[in-house]
Structure 1
């Protein structure tokens, strides 16, 4: 069950991220600037790891190198930028709801690329987890019936919004599978971590050169907050995440990631005085119970298999 708890702990750090990220956006800093500073900070901190694992990088196969670059360049850089940009075109609720498609992307890709079997007990517990996630979102789904899904009547505008959202869904869902693949190739978690940040920084620098107007001077206090955010959700969060991926199938990891909205709601309640509804409490309980139950079944099956082999 350790792998599941590592992923859940990572989700907790990502939820804390919102206490810093959103205030920075409200102060007028662009998404590109914030994400760029995050990655620059993380690359500077993990530079010793890049040097330490340089031989591992040189020995990577073409497929492994592409997976590593995909995690950083697409998952870490483009996925985050696309998710934030989607808010400019769509109701934020729509964007968040569509992110729930990530497990479907990850599970299907894990089945196709990693040959992970989808067993009946997994489907049952996955149903419990997804039901919990759906219950948490139900009040927002009801509001969509009376609210506007789009900010503009222009069809091209909301098609852009859906496009950005689905890019983020694919980027993050497939990054889970790529990370698991690299773990299966015995690439150390710290090597994946530092390689992710470095490849993400390369892509973000290219974006910065193409859009220099998105960069502006930043106050010292805000810069310090950005560094803290990078250490919290970037360094600590991703380290926990890749520790979990070492022992957890990609399809289970992506379901464990659905605990993120649970922690986000709880943090908003405690720090931003946004109380939890009965739907959120019930959904969160199902979601967490489903993850624990799924992991317990997996461990029981593993113990039974070991006993049969030693009998």
Structure 2
């Protein structure tokens, strides 16, 4: 989601942006937004005992309509000049990036290690670079093939450690990682679609964010019905006060404020500095998972993530 995804992407470089200073606070806003994303697993995992992944994402989006509907209504004139191609990009951004990707991301917590599911989202910039090459005909950074191999090695270590896949690893490890990577692919493609819309149309960031949340709701309703969810039960006894409070926090903190803080800070922060500040995302997520979910990382998994982050940092510096 250019300007709408969950991790920084090299394509969002602003060549005319002023250098960040501590007075401007851009880098701190990036870190704050990234830290809020680290709350995802802490809020989603407890809800999975009472709701399916699709139901969690649907309820989250229904709450986000409080922002989406006014944003789309205020910017409704911006849709009049859009072509079918532009609407197709909006649907990919909404259905793929906001709907399906978030469902896959949530399902990943059901099968895999919560911290691994979070850390694998740092692969998004690689998919953004590939999608930008295919869809926007942008050049690949020099040495991209080597970076891709290093990132794949880091992904292997993060998922399997030093053990051989399909032998010592459990099915949940592989399934959880594949679901998380699938979400990263969709979010990466959404970044390119969002960048395309923000640079080729007159749509504002606020209107596009609202459309992203709003148009995902019909898809999520359909997925919930197909999966056999009882929509009436979702709003009945299953939705207790404690669940509602967690849904509100999920929609408000990582869902809305995290995005707004992050991209407000990114507008005045160089890509390399933003990549450093984004370490607040995995740091917060891993720490909270360890303290509250009793899910720590091994040294090998930490090395795997370090390799992935090094690749992301190098791409940010080179672009």
Asked if these proteins are the same fold (TM beyond 0.5), I'd say: yes
Decide which of 62, 65, 74 is 1:40's aligned counterpart.
Answer: 62
In the TM superposition, what are the counterparts of 1:38-187 in structure 2 within 5 Å?
Answer: 38-85=60-107, 96=117, 102-120=124-142, 123=144, 126=147, 130=151, 133-134=154-155, 137=158, 140=161, 142=163, 144=165, 146-150=167-171, 168-185=183-200, 186-187=202-203
* Structure (1/2) with the larger helix percentage: 1
1:234 equivalenced with 2:255 (yes/no): yes
Separation in 2, partners of 1:284, 1:150 = 21
Unmatched 5+ stretches in structure 2 = 1-18, 21-25
Per-residue Cα deviation, 1:125-179 (whole angstroms, up to 9, x for no partner): 956983894486176352746535437xxxxxx9x99996775354222112112
Quickly say closer, same or farther: Cα 1:23–1:82, change in 2 above 3 A.
same
1:8–1:256 contact (8 Å) kept in structure 2: yes
CA distance in 2, matches of 1:199, 1:184: 21
**Greater Rg over alpha carbons, structure:** 1
CA 1:209–1:292: 2 relative to 1, 3 Å: closer
1:154 paired residue number: none
TM-score of the superposed pair, with normalisation by structure 2: 0.69
Q: How many residues align?
A: 286
Distance change (3 Å), C-alpha of 1:184 and 1:281: same
In structure 1, list runs of 5 or more residues that go unmatched: 152-157, 299-311
Is residue 2:233 matched to residue 1:191? no
* Corresponding residue of 1:302: none
How far apart, in 1, do the equivalents of 2:280 and 2:301 lie?
12
Cα 1:100–1:30 shift into 2, 3 Å: same
Question: 2:93, 2:132 → 1: CA distance?
Answer: 15
How big is the shift at 1:196?
0.4
Instruction: Find out whether 1:202 has 2:223 as its counterpart.
Output: no
Determine the C-alpha separation between the residues in 1 that align with 2:177 and 2:60: 26
Q: 1:264 to 1:161 in 2, by over 3 A?
A: closer
Alpha-carbon distance between aligned partners in 1 of 2:227 and 2:159, rounded to the nearest angstrom: 38
On the 8 A contact 1:37/1:226 being kept in 2, the answer is yes
TM-score w.r.t. the length of structure 1 is 0.70
